[in-house]
Amino acid sequence: MRAGLIGLAAMVIANLGSGVASGVEPAFELPPGPGHDVTAQVCLECHGADTITRRRLSPADWKDMVDVMVNHGAIVDDKQKAEIVDYLSRTLPPVAATPDR
- The pLDDT of residue 101: 60
16-28 pLDDT tens trace: 444 444 456 778 8
Is residue 24 packed enough to be buried (19+ CB in 10 Å), middle (13-18) or exposed (0-12)?
Answer: middle
Taking residues 30-34, report their average pLDDT.
Answer: 96
Phi, psi angles (nearest 5°) of residue 27: -100, 155
Q: What is the pTM for the complete model shown?
A: 0.73
71-88 pLDDT tens trace: 999 999 999 999 999 999
